[in-house]
Amino acid sequence: MGAGHHHDHDHPHDHEGSELSPMDLRVRALESILVEKGYVDPAAVDALIETYETRVGPRNGARVVAKAWSDPGFRDWLLRDATAAIASLGFTGRQGEHMVAVENTPDEHHMVVCTLCSCYPWPVLGLPPVWYKSAPYRSRAVIDPRGVLAEFGVALPPQTRIRIWDSTAEVRYLVIPMRPAGTDGWDEERLAGLVTRDSMIGTGLALSPEAVAA
Amino acid sequence: MNGGQDLGGMMGFGPVRPEADEPLFHAPWERRAFGVTLAMGATGAWNIDVSRHARESLPPGEYLTSSYYAIWTKGVERLVVQTGLVSPDELRQGAALAPPAPVKRVLRAGDVAAVLARGGPCDREPAAPARFTVGDRVVTRNLNPSGHTRLPRYARGKTGTIERVHGVFVFPDTNAHGAGEAPQWLYTVRFDGREVWGEEADPALVVSVDAWESYLEPA
């Protein structure tokens, strides 16, 4: 079912009932009653979905990081007042009202988790991936982060401090990964291509120029 | 509450499984569940702390075996019944049996962009100076409320250091229960990994939580 279709759920069994899972039926029933009672406008539901499917995602965060790598003044602003610095690029609002940026160095690697639910900086990273919301990540990020990093293919030197930020309040954290070597003179757009979603959560590193060229 | 949501430090869930080229939604119902959850939040019938508490109130066995959008769906189902917007029979049938109850707002498609861009800031003007400052040593209280709290079990009764002072924020523990915003100073408290997990912990691990002032005492 695409966004914008099948808002009339009165008789779902007529045409595709055999393919509908219990959760399909359950959510259809929920949306139907909420729409019928006038609490929910299905066109607004479509617009909400479309926003995160097409406009808000980790490319936003990559622009923030690339600018921080390129512009020392912006980097300082981002570390001092991330909410304002990020807003200057047009990324504001829900689940990013109170932003803090933390910067990886050779001595310290930052990683973000929400052990209690799924808090995640939507305006810069979009909606979280399933693994971020899953029990394995939420349980182990705080007690065994090196084991978690290994599952992402990341191995850090044992002396590198691993700094875990558990997002237990409404502050949302963005990791600024280290700028890869061999990128001198690159413009922001090219640099942004090295910034992965996972590198801004702290479960990955920025890509090397070789990885992008390959 | 010490529910199924409080996962930090639990074991036995297996490896993290990142998915290559993961789609934003894994089934058509997930996208509707996402949109319906946000749209109902926008009615003002409840706040974000109430909705988090509805989710964590699922029995732990159910919470841990439900996908995240299923947890959201079950949370909305509970809330629409609790708030009297929908009756249990109506929910079962997916059809109205009684007239609607009033809601503060109905989110329209044309307002979605503005509402998302505005978000819901939960910082408030300070009414009193902060009790703690950066560098202070603090101990987290051993709180086990039956209601909502944002102090995870692994971080209770632990000694740490104030690293950041964020300002004054709505207090979820009251706001989730109709007891008002009761704003408090909010801090990032950092703990040595060995303080949290014992002598065998990685000596290079530092963990922080964001903690409201009433979660903390001077160390």
Domain that holds residue A36: 20-54
The CATH code of the domain that includes A83 is 3.90.330.10
Please state the domain count of chain A.
Answer: 2
Across chain A, what does the average pLDDT equal? 92
> A159 and A196, same structural domain?
yes
This prediction has a pTM of: 0.94
Average pLDDT over residues A171-193: 97
**What whole-number distance in Å separates Cα of residue B159 and Cα of residue A54?**
44
Which stretch of A3-12, B75-84, B191-200 has the lowest confidence by average pLDDT?
Answer: A3-12
Domain boundary among A10, A33, A54: A54
Residue B143 phi/psi, 5-degree rounding, is -100, 135
Residue A4 falls inside a structural domain:
no
**What whole-number distance in Å separates Cα of residue A82 and Cα of residue A73?**
13
Residue A197: per-residue pLDDT: 98
**A118 assigned to a ligand binding site:** yes
Largest CA distance in chain B: 61
Residue A213: per-residue pLDDT: 84
**Which pLDDT tens digit goes with each residue over A83-110?**
999 999 999 999 999 999 999 999 999 9
> A117 and A27, same structural domain?
no
Q: Is A7 near chain B, with CB under 8 Å?
A: no
Residue A2 falls inside a structural domain:
no
**What whole-number distance in Å separates Cα of residue A198 and Cα of residue A159?**
22
Residue A9 falls inside a structural domain:
no
Residue A15 pLDDT exceeds 50 = no
Residue A57 pLDDT exceeds 80 = yes
> A174 and A83, same structural domain?
yes
How many A/B residue pairs have CB atoms within 8 Å?
280
**Which pLDDT tens digit goes with each residue over B103-150?**
999 999 999 999 999 999 999 999 999 999 999 999 999 999 999 999
Average pLDDT over residues A194-211: 97
**Which pLDDT tens digit goes with each residue over A117-141?**
999 999 999 999 999 999 999 999 9
| Dihedral, CA of residue A117, residue B46, residue B104 and residue B125, to nearest 10 | -80
CA B102 to chain centre: 26
- Joined together, the tokens standing for residue A63 give 């622009």
> A165 and A95, same structural domain?
yes
The answer for residues whose C-beta is within 8 angstroms of residue B198's C-beta and 6 or more apart is none
Q: What residue ranges define each of the domains in chain B, with the CATH number in brackets?
A: 28-118 (1.10.472.20), 123-218 (2.30.30.50)
> A192 and A175, same structural domain?
yes
ipTM for the predicted complex:
0.97
> A123 and A37, same structural domain?
no
Window 178-197 of A: residues touching B by CB (8 A cutoff) are none
**C-beta of residue A77 within 8 angstroms of C-beta of residue B64:** no
- Joined together, the tokens standing for residue B217 give 């005492």
Among B16, B19, B45, beta carbon nearest to A151 = B16
**What whole-number distance in Å separates Cα of residue B216 and Cα of residue B142?**
9
Residue A18: per-residue pLDDT: 59
Distance from the B149 Cα atom to the nearest Cα atom in chain A, whole angstroms: 9
> A36 and A63, same structural domain?
no
**A70 assigned to a ligand binding site:** no
> A69 and A107, same structural domain?
yes
Residue B50: per-residue pLDDT: 98
The answer for residues whose C-beta is within 8 angstroms of residue A213's C-beta and 6 or more apart is none
> A180 and A124, same structural domain?
yes
Whether residues B100 and A38 touch (CB distance < 8 A) is answered with: yes
Residue B136: per-residue pLDDT: 98
**What whole-number distance in Å separates Cα of residue A143 and Cα of residue B12?**
13
**What whole-number distance in Å separates Cα of residue B102 and Cα of residue B122?**
25
The answer for residues whose C-beta is within 8 angstroms of residue B71's C-beta and 6 or more apart is B55, B58, B63
Among B19, B52, B103, beta carbon nearest to A131 = B19
Q: Is A28 near chain B, with CB under 8 Å?
A: yes
Residue A5 falls inside a structural domain:
no
Across chain B, what does the average pLDDT equal? 97
Q: Which of A32, A117, A134, A167 is catalytic?
A: A117
Residue A20: per-residue pLDDT: 84
Q: Which of A32, A70, A88, A118 is catalytic?
A: A118
> A66 and A164, same structural domain?
yes
> A117 and A202, same structural domain?
yes
Average pLDDT over residues B1-28: 96
Average pLDDT over residues A183-198: 97
**C-beta of residue A111 within 8 angstroms of C-beta of residue A144:** no
The answer for residues whose C-beta is within 8 angstroms of residue B191's C-beta and 6 or more apart is B155, B158, B159, B160, B161, B206, B207, B208, B209
Residue A88 among the catalytic residues: no
Percent of chain A with pLDDT over 90: 89
Amino acid at B115: V
**Which pLDDT tens digit goes with each residue over B35-60?**
999 999 999 999 999 999 999 999 99
Closest to B140 (Cα-Cα) out of B103, B176, B191? B191
Position B94 confidence tier, pLDDT thresholds 50, 70, 90: confident
Distance from the B103 Cα atom to the nearest Cα atom in chain A, whole angstroms: 7
Residue B114 phi/psi, 5-degree rounding, is -70, -40
Search chain B and give the residue with CA nearest A172: B210
Collapsing DSSP states into helix, strand and coil, what is residue B17?
coil
**Which of A5, A6, A7, A40 is the best mutation test for B, with the most CBs of B within 10 A?**
A40
Strands A108-113, A161-166: pairing is parallel
> A159 and A104, same structural domain?
yes
Residue A13 pLDDT exceeds 80 = no
Residue A19: per-residue pLDDT: 72
Average pLDDT over residues B181-204: 98
Whether residues A170 and B169 touch (CB distance < 8 A) is answered with: yes
Give how far Cα A14 sits from Cα of A4, A8, A32, Å: 19, 12, 16
